[in-house]
Amino acid sequence: MLGVKFIQTEITKMMLSDSQFEDFWDNGYVFVPELLSATEMQILRDQLPAMLTSQRQELILEKDGTTVRSIFNMHNFNEVYARFIRHPKLIHAATQLVDSQVHLFQLILNFKAAYSGDIWPWHQDYQHIEQMMGCLLVDA
């Protein structure tokens, strides 16, 4: 352990609102700013400086070779992010949205600033999920 623990809070049966469900099904995402506390978010942020200065293959750099564009799958090498992806509040909200168990396909933090940096068109990797994970239906 890194000596950092997420705040243990009693999880009430948080029911996402009808408009949040609608946002998810209409847009493919839902923004729930109150899901994690400010303290929990700060614990996640506090991990970034060490990750951004590491020489890991999970860091994707801009063409300049020094500016970090993204960090992939931090949960595989950082204990705090490994616990974050299993946070009961996150799991509860995700299972509410899809009414079934959930699986993390990949975790990415993108640092690309608007209007600067290399061109990097947004895309979806879902076409490859069936081949990689045996999922037959992707509905997001």
Give the domain ranges of the chain.
18-112
pLDDT in tens, 5-27: 544 444 445 678 889 989 988 98
Quickly list H helices, the chain. 18-27, 38-45, 48-52, 79-84, 88-98, 129-133
Q: pTM for the full model?
A: 0.73
* 36-40, 92-96, 121-125: least confident range: 121-125
Residue with tokens 């801009």: 62
CA distance 100 to 43: 28
> 99 and 93 in contact (C-beta within 8 Å)?
no
What confidence tens digit (pLDDT) does each residue in 30-66 have? Answer: 889 888 999 999 999 999 999 999 989 999 888 888 8
The one-letter amino acid code at 126 reads Y
Helix (H, G, I), strand (E, B) or coil at 60: strand
Q: What is the pLDDT of residue 106?
A: 84
Q: In whole angstroms, what is the distance from residue 126 CA to residue 129 CA?
A: 5
Q: Is the dihedral of CA 110, 112, 118, 124 positive or negative?
A: positive
Q: Tell me which H or E stretch contains 59.
A: strand 59-61
